[in-house]
Amino acid sequence: MSASFNSKILARMWERVDQSKQDSDVAYFHDLMLLGEFLVKLLTSAILASVESDRDRQRYKVEYQLVRADGIGEWSRALEEVISGPANAHIFPEARPLVREITENFLTGEPSWQRVAIDNLSAACQEIDSDLEQAPRKTNLQWWVRNFATLRNRTRGHGAITIRKCSTAAPLLEVSILSLITGCAAFAVPWIYLHRNISGKYRLSVISGDSSDFTYLKSEKDHVYADGIHIALNERLTRLPLIHSDVDINDFYMANGGYKEGKGGAGSTYEALSYITDIRKRESAEPYQTPPDSLPSSETEGRPDLDIEGKSFANIPPSLKDYIKRPDLESEVFSLLQDDRHPVVTLVGRGGIGKTSLALEVLHRVAQTGHYFAILWFSSRDIDLLPSGPKPVRPAVLSKEDIARQFVELMNPNEAKAKGFKAVEFLANTLAERDESKRLLLVFDNFETASHPLELYQFIDSHVRCPNKVLITTRMRDFKADFPVEIRGMKRTEFEDLVMSTSRKLVIEDLLTVSYVDSLFDETDGHPYFVKILLGDTKREGKAIPVGRLFLNKEDSLRALFERSYGVLSPAAQRVFLTLSNWRSLVPRLALEAALIRPQNENMDVDDALSQLERYSMIEVLTDDDGSQFLRTPMTAAVFGQSKLKVSQFRPLVLADTALIQQFGPMQVTDVSKGMLPRIERMIRVIASLRQSGKDYQPQIRALEYVAGRYPEAWLRIADFYLESSRDDWDKARGSIERLLELDESNVSAWRKLIYVNQRLGDVLQELNARIVLAEMPDADYSEIANAASLFAHTQRNQSLQFDPEVRAMMISNLTYLMESRKSEATPTELSRLAWLYLYSKDVAKANEVVAEGLQRDPNNSHLAKLEEKLRESPEVS
């Protein structure tokens, strides 16, 4: 039986089956079994992909098991668990038709593709072993999946079969499998491999179905999908778990057991098998290290009921122990929560920076005022950052529905028992109420870990109305609201309070020197979580170890703080982050951009990349008085970035970019006030050194020219560099100055430099043009005007330049006007130049008048004396 498939995956696999059919019945049968096993895994992956993340981690539990599954029977049970177990409640609506195809029952003999597949598999099973289960009169496709696993274990897995049995069973198995392939909608919908280019746009490699609805991904970059195979259900794309390929879709690999535990979970892998080529490779199992058992609640989860707190009802958790006061931030947030101007307030900052502890401290104060009828706390926290390290916890809410359900449980409205009551609608209506006697404050902690945070924010923002208010804590600036409050590292006094409190608790005061505390502040940026855990390490070591070394064994903590944010960055933002992390120095933004435009690099939107990094609190941007920006990567983020760089595909390019950036010289925060000029001077010295040693310096020149495009003064430094070289480079010097003047035509220093270069080149015409432009400037020094007139007169006397008569007349007229209008500033010698201009315009009377005025000022001026004599002898000048 010949077959053609819409799916490239299945077409490739069928080629293998078709080839084995020509070889022998045994090979044919066994490859059909491989194809069936492949189908079970593909179908399971497709259905599993349609399960939304939930607070009980139903999808994660199944994936955790499959990473460790060594047999097809476990895949069969996983599919049944998703369809019939708790995970079913979290299958999104677009996937329900796929599930229905698997669960719908059909009678023997019905013409449905499901029943054809079931009956032919049943017949094949009987040919192999009459003791195997026969299909019941009424059943569904789950029977097929379950019994295919049984058949697989009976044959290829755990028992040999005869050639005769292979010959009789294979045609039945082929009909069964083809019926499944051609009938099942899961294999007909679009399957697409998505690869995000450095530009942020996507390359789409179609595996099956019609992908035309998603071509917008090729031109738009405001979408976030991980690289991998995605299945499209209506307009929704979701990534398939445990299946791997590449952008060229040359081969396809499915999880195939063989789990190997790495040290502490790091480096754990599982086997991925290509059923098409039999090639095996290892894939990372690090995302599947947390046991799927029920997790404990967060230490900052809200209480289950509203109790009286001060003068309000509240379920807010207690303030955290050992909290260090942050007076300025507390005062700002308290004031914002007391006014009625901003319905949404966001506390934004890096993980572990103290957003939650600050919020709790302020909320307990707010509760004492009675400003709110009730304060309701909703926690999406999935990791508690403890002094001993990060620990996974069970989020209290993840979705809009979770929040609405908890809101109803806390508020306990009478109408909740009424038929048709909708919790989400009740939440929306309550947020919009304007009753000041029932003023509500809803607090959403760790907002970025919600299932669909942007959609959830839009829901909240569109419904909340004053006097009600919402407070959000988040690592991501995507949720900037009416009033965002930036939470940065502790101030020095706050940091010292934290060090004193923690060191007393740990009894390590004697181990801490002033220099060590200074280093701790500088390296942690006053990050309270890392201050605590590094002091804990000092306790364990019994001595003060250099802070930089202590960071080296904090992979778990760093992953907890940054992995989620890093994962949603565009490739360009990841690339920029890795570059900035690779050098412990402030980096001028212009230097970064100059490195990234190297010919070896793809074009990328650096503005967007930096915006993402700033929104996710992975970098800080400092600005000098001239508006130049300098990029700072906090130590914690930088150490995380360095660990990522080791295994990144971008590593060779990042190392080359970093080497170029470093040639602009290292910077500290105190250097920002000095601006870009010292960086430019440093690069000029590097270029000069390369030239002197006979090495190529074109990459550095290109970088500096890019900087000059945004910082024009750099063109003058480039011009000086070329002027110090051979005469062959003087034209380049002139070109550099002209580039500056294109950007800043009023730059007097540049015009003077251009005059100088033209003098060295012997280009009198260009020198004269530059002098005239300089003379025409509103605030030009009178000597500049006189010098232009002098050069013009010189060219006319020796006839070195010939002008069109009209052009010549205009030049004379302009220069005459400029000199005459400010004649009182002229020296006697400069008056002689004005007199010459009058002579060239054939105004002898005016020339005599100017000469007389000049001699009156200085009777002994030789220039005027000669001109007076010339006027007496021959007043006509051609």
- Residues 372-409 have pLDDT tens digits of 999 999 999 999 988 888 889 999 999 999 999 999 99
- Helix residue spans in 646-712 (DSSP H): 651-662, 677-692, 698-710
d(CA 613, CA 602): 19
Q: Give the residue-averaged pLDDT of 802-814.
A: 87
185 has pLDDT over 90: yes
Backbone angles phi, psi at 722, to 5 degrees: -70, -35
| Average pLDDT score, the chain | 91
Q: Tell me the per-residue pLDDT of 490-533, one tens digit each, with 9 for 90 and over.
A: 999 999 999 999 999 999 999 999 999 999 998 888 999 989 98
pLDDT 10s digits, 96-122: 999 999 999 999 989 999 999 999 999
pLDDT in tens, 670-721: 899 999 999 999 999 999 999 999 999 999 999 999 999 989 989 999 999 9
- The SS3 call for residue 646 is coil
Q: How far is CA 281 from the centre of its chain?
A: 29
Tens digit of pLDDT for each residue in 38-97?
A: 999 999 999 999 999 888 899 999 999 999 999 999 999 999 999 999 999 999 999 999
Integer Cα distance of 736 and 209 in angstroms: 55
pLDDT, position 552: 67
- Helix, strand or coil, per DSSP, at residue 736: helix
Instruction: Assess whether the region 569-710 and the region 764-878 belong to the same CATH fold.
Output: no
What is the dihedral angle through the alpha carbons of 490, 491, 492, 495, rounded to the nearest 10 degrees?
-30
* Residue type for position 337: L
Task: Give the pLDDT band (50/70/90) at residue 159.
Answer: low
Asked if the model's pLDDT at residue 878 lies above 60, the reply is: no
pLDDT at residue 2, rounded to an integer: 47
- Residue in 211, 198, 218, 219 with CA at minimum distance from that of residue 237: 211
Q: In this structure, what token pair is assigned to residue 708?
A: 């000059």
* CB-based contact 144:131 (threshold 8 Å): no
pLDDT band, residue 635 (cuts 50/70/90): confident
Check residue 20 and give its pLDDT. 94
Q: Is the dihedral of CA 688, 692, 697, 702 positive or negative?
A: positive
- For residue range 340-371, list pLDDT tens digits in order: 888 999 999 988 999 999 999 999 999 999 99
Query: What gap in Å lies between CA 599 and CA 699, rounded to an integer?
Result: 9
Question: Cα separation of 325 and 361, whole Å?
Answer: 9
What sign results for the dihedral spanned by CA atoms 519, 520, 521, 527? positive
According to CATH, the topology of domain 569-710 is Arc Repressor Mutant, subunit A (1.10.10)
In this structure, of 546-560, 585-599, 610-624, 831-845, the range with the lowest mean pLDDT score is 546-560
Mean of pLDDT values over 170-194: 95
Helix (H, G, I), strand (E, B) or coil at 375: strand
Give CB contacts under 8 A, 24+ apart, made by 219-227: 221/570, 221/605, 221/608, 224/568, 224/570, 225/194, 225/196, 226/194, 226/567, 227/194, 227/195, 227/196
Please give the pLDDT value at position 7.
Answer: 86
pTM: 0.80
Angle (CA) 652 196 474, round 5°: 95
Dihedral, 17, 21, 25, 28 alpha carbons, nearest 10: 0
CA distance 313 to 429: 20
Contact between 566 and 574 (Cβ < 8 Å): yes
Is the distance from CB of 158 to CB of 149 less than 8 angstroms?
no
Superfamily of domain 308-486: P-loop containing nucleotide triphosphate hydrolases (3.40.50.300)
- Encoding tokens for residue 487? 């939470």
The CA-based dihedral angle spanning residues 77, 81, 84, 85, taken in that order and rounded to the nearest 10 degrees: 150
> What span, in angstroms and rounded, lies between the C-alpha atoms of 353 and 487?
7
CB atoms within 10 A of CB 396: 22
Measured CA distances, 373 to 280, 402, 414 (Å): 62, 22, 18
Q: Give the Cα separation of 831 and 332 in Å (integer).
A: 68
pLDDT confidence tier of residue 1, bands split at 50, 70 and 90: very low
The C-alpha angle 647, 391, 491, rounded to 5 degrees, equals 85
In angstroms, the CA 555 to CA 527 distance is 16
Q: Confidence band (pLDDT; 50, 70, 90) for 216?
A: very high
Question: In which residue are the tokens 């170029």 written?
Answer: 660
User: How far from 190 is each of 4, 85, 90, 607, 750, CA to CA, in Å?
Assistant: 17, 27, 22, 33, 61
| Alpha-carbon gap, residue 757 to 822, rounded angstroms | 28
**What distance, in Å, lies between the first and last C-alpha atoms of the chain?**
103
CA-closest candidate to residue 456, choices 348, 378, 383: 378
State whether residue 602 is helix, strand or coil.
Answer: coil
Element (H, E) at 478: none
Of residues 317 and 547, which shows the higher confidence score? 317
Q: Where are the alpha helices (DSSP H) in 354-422?
A: 355-369, 400-411
Topology of the domain covering 764-878: 1.25.40
pLDDT at 558: 85
Task: For the chain, give every domain's residue range.
Answer: 8-187, 191-286, 308-486, 492-555, 569-710, 764-878
CA 560 to chain centre: 17
Q: How far is CA 870 from CA 827, 848, 856, 874, in A?
A: 20, 10, 18, 6
Integer Cα distance of 771 and 691 in angstroms: 32
C-alpha 129/C-alpha 158 separation (Å) is 13
Angle at 689 between CA 687 and CA 693, to 5 degrees: 115
- pLDDT above 90 (res 181): yes
Task: Render pLDDT for 537-588 as a digit per residue (tens, 0 to 9).
Answer: 888 888 887 777 767 677 788 888 888 889 888 899 999 999 999 998 999 9
Q: Percentage of the chain with pLDDT > 70? A: 98
Model pLDDT, residue 430: 96
Q: What is d(CA 528, CA 536) in angstroms, rounded to the nearest whole number?
A: 12
Specify which residues 203 forms β-bridges with.
195
Predicted local confidence at residue 264, as pLDDT:
67
Query: How far apart, in whole angstroms, are the C-alpha atoms of residue 535 and residue 550?
Result: 10
CA 866 to CA 775: how far, in whole Å?
26
